[in-house]
């Protein structure tokens, strides 16, 4: 390698940097690096070049940086790499994405982060790439100041005396490597953004920048929505959720979930916020589900840390335990973790305690906490009480359940009744006249968000509304967000309907003739993403003799079963449908791979459907004149983002 000496002024914090400037690069392409770096440089005209391994001390953090230019927008080739045995460190570009990989002593695969070119905010011919490893907790990949991806570390860095190679003769970069630098510390978010100056992209990793609705939404770049923990205070709806990466496979299957949120005052316009509770220690295997409680001007985020501690250096697996914790905030946006667990359950309780929900008993100064666990082999909610949210006392468990653990408890008051939700995939609600139970099964269907939606939880919105949200499991853990609104009947029982503000906008309805009393009607070349509405009219006195009406959507069907008092969408059935009125409205939204059905603005069911550009619909009605299908309307979904 041919290189002249560089003279550095004020580049401290043990940073080692090598500037690689192509002969054609303009002086304006040179960044101002953090820590006041000032340098007298000469060009490095031959690649590969080297950054010394001695730049890294024995610390737990480090940062890699390259500025690259490619007027042809190919972005392919090796940028940084180091031989570390079977799992080398490498940062490189492919035609469709940038990729960074790094092996560790305990992860069962190399840490891998990606930035798809199609998700880059700018088509600039110059980009800044930063790879940050913070406290041996996680590796984050930034482009032009924005973090796009992350992976989670177990163990240590592989020891190596080999230098960091800049560029490669075997897989040369298609453009120019203008600058390369390394630090033996983790740069802050502000420092990383400052490198890109006016080009810095300050969006959160969950924000595509399109103003899209969160209904049927999934975060970008292979993230998914996990357990939802909605919360509302001062007119702001906080959609908090577990940010999933890899469908629970991250960090050797521990999950490595973190709390993140988006906020809204109208359920239409959303602002993506930063992490509520973030993994910043390697022993945090996952930040598990919980809830937020507001009291005396403070926001308390109660959660469980799925602690993962290796008992010795040669241990093959960690000891995993759920530890109840909390973080505190003054504004509901920026939270700070407490230093110690809030309570440790005694012997007899399972190690996997999680999902705390906290509420205040009305008219008292007593706070209650329910948390998912098992006691002496039976699933249950641990029950703790406190007078100050600081010191907690354990009471007898509630909601004892023989077959598995009732997950993600929810508690709320509505009218003169109190409600809990226990989750076994879908949510199951119970009610009581008392805030602490006993929790009785209601005399009606008590499943919430039936179908493909997991572990729903609720939050108020306005004086007499309650929003319920969950995530879809079509790909395993972590999927799309789905929002519905609860309906409270006069007798206190609950129904469920679409959220009016979050129903996807549509274009003009297609000109279709309703089938009326025909035995069959077929419609072709309907839009793949659409809203289908229809009204079914019948003689309620004949509901025991009427045969099924079937809407065949191509691969899966919507079946109205009069005799069974049920409606089936694909593989999921909602029971105890009221057929006494003689009229039923069906409202079906098909968006991507989801089909979301609302019946009479009171019952819902959600299923998957193969994505398609166009769809065919066949309606079979074997009831001749006895059943009339009217008001058929099919409208294409409009683009789901702000104007």
Mean pLDDT calculated for residue range 55-72: 82
Q: Which residues contact 104 (CB under 8 A, 6 or more apart)?
A: 87, 110, 111, 153, 154, 155, 156, 157, 158
| 412, two tokens | 């709320």
Summarize the confidence of residues 165-189 as an average pLDDT: 90
Task: Measure CA 223 to chain center.
Answer: 6
What lies within 8 Å, CB to CB, of 369 at 6+ separation is: 302, 324, 356, 357, 358, 382, 383, 384, 385, 386, 392
pLDDT at 239 over 70: yes
Which SS3 state, helix, strand or coil, does residue 193 take? helix
Predicted pLDDT of residue 136: 87
Which residues fall within 8 angstroms of residue 197, CB to CB, at 6 or more apart?
Answer: 31, 32
Q: How distant is the alpha carbon of residue 248 from its chain centre?
A: 11
7-199: CATH number: 2.60.120.200
Which residue, 374, 359, 360, is CA-closest to 322?
374
Residue 119 and residue 220: Cα distance in Å, rounded?
Answer: 8
Q: What is the pLDDT of residue 158?
A: 84
Mean predicted confidence (pLDDT) in 178-190: 90
> Where, residue-wise, is CATH 2.115.10.20 in the chain?
223-502
Report the pLDDT value the prediction gives residue 232, as an integer from 0 to 100: 97
The whole-number average pLDDT for the span 382-401 is 95
Q: Where in the chain is the domain with CATH 2.60.120.200?
A: 7-199, 520-636
Distance CA 235, CA 532 (A): 33
Rounded to whole angstroms, how far apart are CA atoms 497 and 598?
Answer: 6
Q: Closest Cα partner for 213 from 490, 544, 481, 516? A: 481
- How many Å from the N-terminal Cα to the C-terminal Cα in the chain? 53
Q: Please state which of the ranges 232-236, 338-342, 447-451, 598-602 shows the lowest mean pLDDT.
A: 338-342
CATH class of 223-502: mainly beta
Q: Under a CB-based contact definition with an 8 Å cutoff, are residues 116 and 172 in contact?
A: no
When pLDDT is cut at 50, 70 and 90, the band that residue 161 belongs to is confident
- Number of alpha carbons in the 13 Å side-chain half-sphere of residue 313: 1
**Is 570 in contact with 557 (CB distance < 8 Å)?**
yes
Distances (CA, A) of 395 to 315, 368, 389, 392, 420: 36, 10, 15, 10, 18
pLDDT at 45: 57
What are the DSSP calls for 85-127, one per residue? TTS-EEEEEETTEEEEEE-BSS-SS-EEEEEEGGG-S---SEE
Residues linked to residue 584 through DSSP beta bridges, in sequence order: 536
Architecture in CATH of 520-636: Sandwich (2.60)
Identify whether 438 is preceded by a cis peptide bond (ω within 30 of 0).
yes
State the Rg of the chain over Cα: 28
Q: Strand, helix or coil at 385?
A: strand
Distance CA 331, CA 492 (A): 34
| Confidence (pLDDT) at 61 | 87
pLDDT at 639: 83
| Model confidence at 413: pLDDT above 90 | yes
- Helix/strand/coil (H, E, C) string of 204-264? CCCCCCCCCCCCCECCCCCEEEEEECCEEECCEEEEEEEEEECCCCCCCCCCCCEEEEEEE
Q: What is the pLDDT of residues 305-343, one digit of tens each?
A: 999 999 998 898 999 999 999 999 999 999 999 978 999
More confident residue, 586 or 339: 586
Helix residue ranges per DSSP H, 339-430 = none
Q: With 90 as the cut, is the pLDDT of residue 229 above it?
A: yes
* Mean pLDDT, all residues of the chain: 90
pLDDT at 60: 83
301-319: b or e for each residue (b if 16 or more CB lie within 10 Å)? bbbbbbbbebeeeeeeebe
**What pLDDT sits at residue 137?**
94
Of all residues in the chain, what percent carry a pLDDT higher than 70?
A: 91
| Full 3-state SS string of 565-621 | CEEEECCEEECCCCCCCCEEEEEEEEECCEEEEEECCCEEEEEECCCCCEEEEEEEC
Q: Tell whether the model's pLDDT for residue 615 goes beyond 60.
A: yes
User: Which among 161, 184, 171 is positioned nearest to 83, based on CA atoms?
Assistant: 161
pLDDT of residue 6: 36
What pLDDT does residue 53 have? 65
> Contact 297/355 with Cβ under 8 angstroms?
no
pLDDT at 26: 40
CA torsion angle for 634, 636, 641, 642 (degrees, to 10)? Answer: -80
Eight-class DSSP state of 541: G
Of 299, 307, 146, give the one whose Cα is nearest residue 232: 299
H helix count then E strand count, the chain: 1, 47
Residues 454-497: tens digit of each pLDDT: 999 999 999 999 999 999 999 999 999 999 999 999 999 999 99
Q: How many CB atoms lie within 10 A of CB 333?
A: 15
pLDDT surpasses 50 at 28: no
């Amino acid at each position: 390698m041919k290189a002249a000496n560089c003279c550095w002024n004020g580049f401290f914090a043990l940073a080692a940097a090598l500037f690689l400037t192509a002969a054609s690069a303009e002086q304006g392409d040179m960044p101002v690096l953090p820590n006041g770096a000032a340098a007298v440089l000469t060009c490095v005209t031959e690649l590969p070049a080297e950054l010394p391994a001695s730049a890294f001390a024995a610390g737990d953090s480090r940062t890699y940086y390259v500025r690259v230019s490619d007027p042809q927008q190919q972005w392919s080739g090796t940028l940084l790499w180091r031989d570390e045995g079977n799992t080398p460190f490498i940062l490189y570009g492919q035609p469709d994405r940038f990729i960074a990989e790094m092996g560790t002593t305990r992860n069962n695969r190399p840490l891998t982060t990606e930035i798809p070119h199609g998700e880059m905010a700018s088509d600039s011919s110059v980009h800044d790439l930063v790879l940050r490893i913070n406290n041996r907790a996680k590796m984050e990949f930034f482009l032009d100041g924005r973090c796009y991806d992350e992976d989670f570390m177990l163990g240590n860095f592989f020891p190596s005396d080999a230098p960091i190679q800049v560029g490669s003769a075997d897989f040369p970069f298609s453009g120019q490597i203008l600058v390369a630098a390394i630090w033996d510390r983790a740069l802050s978010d502000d420092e990383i953004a400052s490198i890109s100056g006016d080009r810095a992209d300050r969006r959160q990793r969950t924000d595509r920048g399109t103003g899209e609705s969160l209904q049927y939404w999934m975060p970008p770049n292979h993230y998914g929505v996990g357990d939802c923990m909605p919360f509302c205070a001062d007119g702001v709806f906080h959609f908090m959720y577990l940010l999933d990466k890899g469908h629970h496979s991250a960090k050797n299957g521990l999950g490595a979930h973190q709390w993140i949120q988006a906020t809204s005052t109208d359920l239409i316009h959303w602002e993506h916020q930063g992490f509520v509770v973030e993994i910043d220690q390697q022993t945090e295997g996952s930040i598990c589900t919980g809830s937020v409680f507001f009291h005396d001007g403070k926001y308390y985020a109660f959660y469980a840390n799925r602690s993962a501690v290796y008992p010795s250096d040669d241990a093959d697996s960690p000891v995993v335990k759920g530890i109840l914790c909390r973080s505190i905030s003054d504004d509901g946006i920026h939270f700070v973790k407490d230093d110690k667990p809030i309570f440790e359950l005694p012997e007899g309780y399972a190690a996997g305690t999680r999902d705390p929900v906290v509420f205040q008993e009305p008219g008292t100064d007593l706070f209650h906490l329910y948390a998912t666990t098992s006691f002496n082999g039976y699933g249950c909610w641990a029950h703790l009480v406190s007078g100050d949210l600081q010191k907690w006392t354990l009471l007898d468990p509630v909601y004892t359940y023989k077959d598995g653990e009732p997950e993600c408890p929810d508690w709320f008051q509505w009218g003169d009744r109190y409600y809990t939700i226990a989750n076994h995939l879908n949510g199951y609600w119970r009610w009581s006249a008392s805030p602490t139970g006993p929790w009785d099964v209601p005399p009606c269907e008590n499943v919430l968000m039936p179908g493909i939606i997991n572990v729903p939880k609720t939050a108020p919105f306005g004086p007499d509304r309650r929003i319920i949200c969950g995530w879809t499991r079509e790909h395993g853990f972590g999927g799309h967000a789905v929002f519905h609104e609860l309906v409270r009947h006069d007798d206190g029982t609950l129904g469920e309907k679409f959220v009016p503000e979050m129903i996807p906008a549509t274009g003009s309805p297609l000109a279709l003739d309703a089938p009326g009393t025909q035995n069959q009607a077929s419609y072709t070349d309907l839009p793949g993403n659409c809203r289908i509405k229809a009204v079914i009219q019948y003689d309620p006195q004949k509901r025991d003799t009427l045969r099924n009406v079937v809407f065949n959507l191509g691969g899966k069907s919507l079946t109205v079963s009069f005799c069974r008092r049920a409606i089936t969408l694909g593989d999921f059935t909602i029971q105890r449908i009221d057929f006494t009125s003689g009229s039923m409205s069906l409202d079906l939204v098909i968006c991507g791979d989801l089909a979301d059905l609302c019946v009479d603005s009171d019952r819902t069911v959600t299923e998957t459907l193969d994505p398609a550009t166009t769809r065919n619909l066949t309606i079979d009605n074997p009831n001749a004149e006895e059943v009339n299908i009217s008001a058929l309307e099919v409208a294409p979904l409009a683009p789901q983002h702000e104007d």
